[in-house]
Structure 1
Amino acid sequence: MTFLRHSLAALLLLPASCAMADTTDYPLTVDNCGMDMRFESAPERVITIGQSATEILYALGLSDRVKGTSVWFTPVLPQFREDNEHIERLADNDPGFESVVSRRPDLVAVQYEWHVGPAGSVATREQFSELGINTYIMPADCDTKDNSTGGDGTRTGAFTPDSIYKGITELATIFDVQAAGAALVDDLRTREQKAVARARSLDLPADLSAVFWFSSPASGAAPYMAGRLGAPGYMMKALGIHNVIESDEEWPTVDWETVVRADPDIIVLARMDRRRYPADAIAVKRAFLENDPVAREMTAVKEGHIIEMDAHAMSATMRTIYGLETLADALSNMSFDS
């Protein structure tokens, strides 16, 4: 078993085109977010808790294995719409533990550790394990991240898409669909490189700054702004943009006075279908920026440098690469002449 674990570790260090060359040897043990998961064969029945895990499985051609989904922020990607229509949605947000286990999964694939973890809102990993159900948490939510701090967690190191590629590679290995995993990783890497090259060719100002606004718990309340080490922080750094929010928290609440004082050149707004908080709605965000007597004086608002981005791209998911493309496209249509 030690040999298998080491073999998988070595596999993940290889380029995608090489790493996926072989078939999976079972039983397979995967060290996932600090817990060993043993697979006697490829899972046949999967429940997903989190849109990222769902869409990656779809992208790997595994929609027929998915028996239920939950936790959705935005509509499924268009290319997976037909597959998704035939799969039961257990809940738009957190599903109940009983509703998950009643579908008799042999794997629960999870986007956020706070859903399935030491203090999981759905259950702990141990609760699933006691029923013989494996759990897999996307590495992007535990690699370089401490989720014991509460809320959305705190980054202990900067997010990079490598953790997304690692999750794709591991899932492809678990399900023995290595070729599909290699193709997906290669496509995302290529798109990432092209988006960065496009933005870098724009000769943007060296001191260009931005904030990413996800939502707010109440109208006019301190917003949830992206910290410097999460997915938005990666996007900004990759394109040479300064994040005016210096926190290591994933989504800290920041008072508007601090944001206005920083006066960012760009404001990126999360667009989502979820309606947990008033400012989940893009129209509420825009109305606040346009009508608040202080916020409307910010440079980004006065210059119209406001970008709408898929909320799911602001999380550490494969859609982060799509968000990078959105940002690069928007920048190409903006003027920053002083």
Structure 2
Amino acid sequence: MDHGPTDHETFTRRGYLAGSSAIVGGGLLAGCTGDANQASATDSEPVDNGSEPVDNGSESADDAYTATISPMGEVSFESPPETVFTRLTHHAGMAFALGRGDSITAMHAPDYYDGLWNQFVERLPGVSLDWTGLYSSWEPSKEQLYALDSDIHLADPAWITKQDSWDEADIEKIGTAISPWFGNSLSDRHAEPAAAYADDYEYYTLWEQFERVAEAFQEQERYEALAAVHDDLLSTIESTLPAESERPSAVMLASADIEEIYAYTLDTPGFLTAHTQPLGARDAFEGAVESNSVVDFETLVAADPDVILLLGGFEPGTSLPERREAFASDPVASEITAVQDDRMYPQGARYQGPILNLFQLEMTAKQLYPDAFGAWPQYVEGPYPEIPADEQLFDRETVAAIINGEL
């Protein structure tokens, strides 16, 4: 049974003032190994709106500020959030990038993603991350959100309300009694929101959403510093890419075993392809297969990709050599060009925050275009491989300093 907030609970230390837009409903991702429901496989100045502040003995109305994101609209804060509820890892990754990785109170499959993300964090000097033991929030309970008492719910109500146990009234209660909602998830693949909110929902790139999240935390300086690194990386990629006629065909695959293989194209709209869209590889399926479809070896042979990107290849418990061998030893799959040429490469996760996005842009550039960006090492297991400084596409020490607040 849901125990709703008492009158006293509607005035908390976070002082959630109001959100000007309705909170919406949306869709749910299916069939993803290693990123969603199958974990294994504009600067904002403080505002004075003329209203009387809530006297809670802490922050004054003069310190209040607003940040805006769809589907919540404009949200007011009395002070920057210190503890953070998340559901999906692109939001957890944004908090991490802003120096708040240890402030997260909940996330989907925390132990799994702790292991996966630390494969990359290993290469950031002086940066640490520990998400083990957090509340796993794929299907969050209202009671648990009250217990966690987080300063912000960095999650999209459009997804939360897809669950039978949640509705808009629940979202409003939590947002008023505990702390505001501030997140966007349907931008992952430009999924259609519920009809009642279709007019209000906006889609963002990964970095557009990160900018808005940085406003909510009043961390615009950190955002700008990381965005500059990202812009430089994109500029390097754009100026170095070979002509379209010289680019390989590619596909991303995810599978716990060869009996059920999910295929993802690399140019699907949304932030799930934030690390592949800029690299412009050719769709091996030439539009004949939709992203997030189950395919068999015969379909892959017909598409004959030059490069196969293996989603989840960085999972600590996954044997990349075994995945490669499963293809190479099959009489059908062994005919695929990528298998014959030994161009099956690991990937991390599609629900990536800004920091993972930097690593995955570098990694995928080298996997697709070794002659242009330098060869990707023959990775087998362990953390993201050491890459010589003169072959790195972004500076690790700069990124680490930004995360640690050493701007």
Q: Give the direction of change, closer, same or farther, for the CA distance of 1:28–1:127 in structure 2 (3 Å limit).
A: same
Match of 1:209 in 2: 249
Q: Give the direction of change, closer, same or farther, for the CA distance of 1:267–1:180 in structure 2 (3 Å limit).
A: same
Within a 5 Å distance, the mapping from 1:186-335 to structure 2 comes to: 186-198=228-240, 200=241, 202=242, 205-206=245-246, 208-216=248-256, 219-226=258-265, 228-230=267-269, 231=271, 235-245=275-285, 246=287, 251-270=292-311, 271-273=313-315, 282-310=320-348, 312=349, 314-315=350-351, 317-318=353-354, 319-333=356-370
Q: Could you list the per-position Cα deviations for residues 84-143 of structure 1 after superposition, in whole angstroms to 9, with x for gaps in the alignment?
A: 33875223x725424343111131113x777x4331488556424313232222367368
Q: Alpha-carbon deviation of 1:75?
A: 2.5
SS at match of 1:264: coil
Within a 5 Å distance, the mapping from 1:61-140 to structure 2 comes to: 61-63=99-101, 65-72=103-110, 73=113, 74-76=116-118, 77-78=121-122, 79=124, 83-85=128-130, 89-91=134-136, 94=138, 96-97=140-141, 98-110=143-155, 116-120=159-163, 123=166, 126-131=169-174, 132=176, 133-138=179-184
Q: Could you list the per-position Cα deviations for residues 265-324 of structure 1 after superposition, in whole angstroms to 9, with x for gaps in the alignment?
A: 11111124388xxxx7645532321121101111111111222122x2x34542334222
Q: Give the direction of change, closer, same or farther, for the CA distance of 1:248–1:171 in structure 2 (3 Å limit).
A: farther
Q: Give the direction of change, closer, same or farther, for the CA distance of 1:248–1:126 in structure 2 (3 Å limit).
A: farther
Q: Which of 190, 212, 220 does residue 144 from structure 1 map onto? A: 190
Q: Give the direction of change, closer, same or farther, for the CA distance of 1:64–1:316 in structure 2 (3 Å limit).
A: closer
Confirm or deny: 8 A CA contact 1:29 1:37 kept in the other structure.
Answer: yes
Question: Following the alignment from structure 2 to structure 1, what is the Cα–Cα distance between the partners of residues 166 and 371?
Answer: 46
SS at match of 1:273: coil
Confirm or deny: 8 A CA contact 1:168 1:181 kept in the other structure.
Answer: yes
SS at match of 2:144: helix
Confirm or deny: 8 A CA contact 2:251 2:263 kept in the other structure.
Answer: no
Question: Following the alignment from structure 2 to structure 1, what is the Cα–Cα distance between the partners of residues 223 and 254?
Answer: 30
Larger deviation, residues 177-186 vs 228-237: 228-237
Q: Alpha-carbon deviation of 1:81?
A: 8.3
Percent sequence identity over aligned pairs: 17
SS at match of 1:292: coil
Match of 1:14 in 2: none
Match of 2:205 in 1: 163
The structure having more radius of gyration, on CA atoms, is: 2
The aligned amino acid for 2:370 is: N
Confirm or deny: 8 A CA contact 1:139 1:167 kept in the other structure.
Answer: no
Q: Alpha-carbon deviation of 1:164?
A: 1.5
Q: Could you list the per-position Cα deviations for residues 44-102 of structure 1 after superposition, in whole angstroms to 9, with x for gaps in the alignment?
A: 331122222122112112346433443354234334986533875223x7254243431
Q: Give the direction of change, closer, same or farther, for the CA distance of 1:185–1:206 in structure 2 (3 Å limit).
A: same
The aligned amino acid for 1:309 is: Q
Q: Could you list the per-position Cα deviations for residues 168-213 of structure 1 after superposition, in whole angstroms to 9, with x for gaps in the alignment?
A: 2111211212111211222222222223433x1x567536210111
Tell me the TM-score normalized by structure 1. Answer: 0.71
Question: Following the alignment from structure 2 to structure 1, what is the Cα–Cα distance between the partners of residues 84 and 100?
Answer: 10
Q: Does 1:173 align with 2:211?
A: no
Within a 5 Å distance, the mapping from 1:53-64 to structure 2 comes to: 53-63=91-101
Number of residue pairs matched? 297
Question: Following the alignment from structure 2 to structure 1, what is the Cα–Cα distance between the partners of residues 181 and 206?
Answer: 17
Match of 1:16 in 2: none
The aligned amino acid for 2:138 is: D
SS at match of 1:253: strand
Question: Following the alignment from structure 1 to structure 2, what is the Cα–Cα distance between the partners of residues 219 and 274?
Answer: 19
CA RMSD of aligned residues (A): 3.8
Q: What stretches of structure 1 of length at least 5 have no aligned partner?
A: 6-18, 150-156
Greater RCO, CA 8 A, separation 6+: 2
The aligned amino acid for 2:309 is: V
